[in-house]
Amino acid sequence: MSRSVFHEALRHLALLLILFAVLSPLLWLLLTAFKPYGELFNNPPTILPEAATLVNFTEGWEIGGGKGIMDSLIVSSISTLICLILGFPAAYALARRFPPHGQLSFTILSLRMMPPIVPVIGFYLLFQELALFDTYTGLIIVYTFMNLPLVIWLLAEFMRQIPKSYEEAARVDGATWFQLFRDVLLPLSLPGVLTAGILAMIFAWNEFLFALVLTGDAVITLPKALASFFLFQQPNWGQLGAIGIVAFGPLLLLSYYMQRLLIRSFSIELGGR
């Protein structure tokens, strides 16, 4: 018994050491966000900030972080909303009227596999023609295109778990399509809608290449704002770190939820057959 406790402790120790090594670049960035400019380029570097400061957070917001957060919020939330509005009815049709793992689901999902560098040139030329270059509308269209296949597929997977009898009962009671949607389908598939929505939001929030190529000075999302700091030889790492923490740190809170979701999906997809 005590031997197995010892082994368990050893494994925890190994995991903690690996975890520390893996996360150390991120921890370093976290510490850097609190260092004043003068301390950034010390050689050898200071581990803990000697004169800890919050100035990077206020400056980071002013030099582009604030604009970046606003633009990213606009583009990712609107595109996510459109994905859900277009995707919900399509997913319902796919779940109820087509076999699982059929040709149509596969075709829709395969769009997701395309590397973004392939459509980006086509979009660039098209957007020049349609005056959509460097507009919110343009980027929203592209992010909707990028996320819609996954949203449809995920929602359809969730809806297949809902028993048909609920809808049939509602129809027998004479419910209209809208009532069926509002009172039966939406509440029952809410976890699926939330999951698909969160994923679409994260992907749009993190996206870089489309934003880099398809926008100029009017629309500057977070990843693009951060990348623009790299034009300088010695970027202000403190400001970069501060923006990074504020803009991307909250996503990490979803990590627990995400590993559950992923383990469950892969178990269902591969083990359930």
Partner 1 sequence: MTDIAPTLTISRPPAGERAKREKAAERRSTMILLAPALVFLTLMSIWPFAYLLYASFTSYQLAIPIPIEWVGLDNFTKLMGGARFWSSLGITAIFALVAVPLQILAGLGLAMLINSISRGREIYASLFLIPMMLAPIIVGFSWNLFLNPIYGPLNALLRSLGFQPPAWAQSPEWALPTLVAVDVWQWTPLVMIILLAGLRSIPPRVFEAAKVDGSNRVQTFFNIILPMLAPYMVVAFVLRFIDSFKVFDIIYILTRGGPGTSTQNLAYYTYDVGFSRFQFGSAGALSIIQLVLLVVGTTVILSAVRRRSAAGEGGSR
Interacting residues with partner 1 between 70 and 89 (CB under 8 A): 86-87, 89
Q: Interface with partner 1 includes 51 (CB under 8 A)?
A: no
The CB-of-92 to partner 1 minimum distance in angstroms stands at: 6
The CB-of-87 to partner 1 minimum distance in angstroms stands at: 6
Q: Which of 32, 56, 195, 239 binds partner 1 (CB under 8 A)?
A: 32
Q: Interface with partner 1 includes 37 (CB under 8 A)?
A: no
The CB-of-44 to partner 1 minimum distance in angstroms stands at: 4
Residues 118-177, interacting with partner 1 (CB under 8 A): 118-119, 121-126, 128-129, 141, 144-145, 148-149, 152
Measured from the CB atom, the residue of 173 and 243 that comes closer to partner 1 is 243
Q: Which of 44, 163, 172, 174 binds partner 1 (CB under 8 A)?
A: 44
72, 140 Cβ separation under 8 angstroms = no
Contact stretch for partner 1 (CB under 8 A) within 56-64, 73-81, 183-191, 253-261: 253-261
The closest alpha carbon to 32, from 68, 8, 56, belongs to 56
Tell me, letter by letter, the H, E, C secondary structure of the chain: CHHHHHHHHHHHHHHHHHHHHHHHHHHHHHHHCCCCHHHCCCCCCCCCCCCCCCHHHHHHHHHHHHHHHHHHHHHHHHHHHHHHHHHHHHHHHHHHHCCCCCHHHHHHHHHHHCCCHHHHHHHHHHHHHHCCCCCHHHHHHHHHHHHHHHHHHHHHHHHHCCCHHHHHHHHHCCCCHHHHHHHHHHHHCHHHHHHHHHHHHHHHHHCCHHHHHHCCCCCCCHHHHHHHHHHCCCCCHHHHHHHHHHHHHHHHCCHHHHHHHHHHHHHHHHHCC
Measured from the CB atom, the residue of 18 and 54 that comes closer to partner 1 is 18
The count of residues interacting with partner 1 (CB under 8 A) is: 86
Q: Interface with partner 1 includes 213 (CB under 8 A)?
A: yes
Q: Which of 169, 186, 190, 263 binds partner 1 (CB under 8 A)?
A: 263
The CB-of-265 to partner 1 minimum distance in angstroms stands at: 8
Measured from the CB atom, the residue of 114 and 190 that comes closer to partner 1 is 114
Q: Interface with partner 1 includes 55 (CB under 8 A)?
A: no
Contact stretch for partner 1 (CB under 8 A) within 48-56, 59-67, 183-191, 257-265: 257-265
Residues 8-27, interacting with partner 1 (CB under 8 A): 8, 11-12, 14-15, 18-19, 22-26
Angle ∠(25,27,207) on CA atoms, nearest 5 = 65
